[in-house]
Amino acid sequence: MKKHAAAAVALAATMAILLAGCTGRGEPAQGASEETGDIVIRASYPLSGPLASAGLSAAGVTAYFDAVNAAGGIDGRQIDFEAVDDAFDPARQVSNNQQFVEQDDAIIVINFGGISVAARPPLNNAGVAQIVQGGETELSDTEAFPFSRAYVPDIAWEGELQGRYITETFPDANVGFVGFNNALADSQLNGLEAGGITPSTVIKLPPGQADVASQVTELQAAGVDVLVVTQGPPTIGALLSYMGEIGYHPTLFIGSPYADFASTVIPAGADNVTGALSYQWFKDPQNPAVESDEAIVQFTEDMAEYSPDGDSTQTFTLTGYGLASAIVSALSEADEITSEGFLEAWDTVSDVENPMLIEGASLNGGPGGRLVYQYPPAHVRRNELDPRRRDRQRRGRRHRRVARRRARAGHRSSCPVAH
């Protein structure tokens, strides 16, 4: 049984939660695909609708898989990948998955978000591997659903870290919470409670809600002075900018899924997030601190070459790229290229580098079938948010990229990213 430190604090202190567990393994309802021909992987993403920002991941997945194919594939086999839209509708996701299994013979299906819970039974009955980009605790139940895994951390772990930090640093705080009206919020609230915090005011909003004036008024009237926010665009930007507009400045804890420039900093305005706290495990392509990072440079080049219509400035795009890298890492170590062989390799991944992870973090198989357990701290400082600094560094990065391409005169490395 492995133990993992789910890291952290903000600022100078350090705390850790030891996570321990083991995953169950069931028998597939039907045989796995034969090891011949292309490796078929499919994805159902919200390419439209209120969570279309998450659908940007598909472009990152495409870029990474195409780069691997250009370098010779996996043991000479090409990856056949396609992504289709579900508009974050659980019925459409289930229907898409059915097509992937029955018509496309996929051995791996990628899904997004808490709606993927409903998609687990049919995929598990078919013996097809399901990989979900989702932080809901339910997605860690690998004993009941042995063919389902979640890539990103369980947000309850982050909630517990937040709760412990708030309890120790702001013992008399009046804590509020703003999240989605779904299981992601419930998971994070359970984590906060495990860390000693039961928010006095809880507000759950549907994805895409931009009018949040009444909710901000409610938080202010309740005297909330520490606010935990895990909401996506445009909600989080509207929330924080309106708080700044009316002069309401509680201590902010921003949930890691949206603690980035594109989702929060730019739409909210730098002045309204300066001093905010967050636990961070992935890189932000727009963060000047990683502008010369080797993996980010490679990601940007692969996006330009293999997925030119995708937006390489978005964190969700990089998340998809990192997920594809994790899948390739497991497939490359699998004893057989089947759903079951892939999952066995996924569960035993150890200290594997990944282009989306911040320095010092790595992928490790462990409790609940997840691969990411490290939560180093992040503290937003004003100079990091200066748009002039970010734009200057972005221009310099673009010039260096063009120079490298000219120098190589069309020659590529045989491996798109080190694994």
CATH number for the segment(s) 39-153+294-365: 3.40.50.2300
Q: What is the pLDDT of residues 164-220, one digit of tens each?
A: 999 999 999 999 999 999 999 999 999 999 999 999 999 999 999 999 999 999 999
For residues 199 and 173, what is the distance between their CA atoms, to the nearest angstrom?
Answer: 10
Domain boundaries, the chain: 39-153+294-365, 155-279
Say if 39-153+294-365 and 155-279 have the same CATH topology. yes
Question: Which regions in the chain score pLDDT beneath 70?
Answer: 1-36, 375-419
Class of domain 155-279: alpha beta
Contact 280, 360 (CB under 8 A): no
pLDDT of residue 34: 53
**DSSP per residue, 283-329:** --TT-GGGTT-HHHHHHHHHHHHH-TTS-TT-HHHHHHHHHHHHHHH
Contact 32, 126 (CB under 8 A): no
Residues 265-282: pLDDT tens digits?
A: 999 999 999 999 999 899
pLDDT score at 359 = 86
What pLDDT is recorded for position 376?
58
DSSP state for residue 228 in the 8-state scheme:
E
The whole-number pLDDT of residue 35 equals 61
pLDDT at 49: 94
Its pTM surpasses 0.75: yes
> In this predicted structure, what is the pLDDT of residue 7?
33
Measured distance CA(40)–CA(369) in Å, rounded: 21
Give the whole-angstrom CA distance, residue 392 versus residue 149: 40
Q: What pLDDT is stored for residue 360 in this prediction?
A: 84
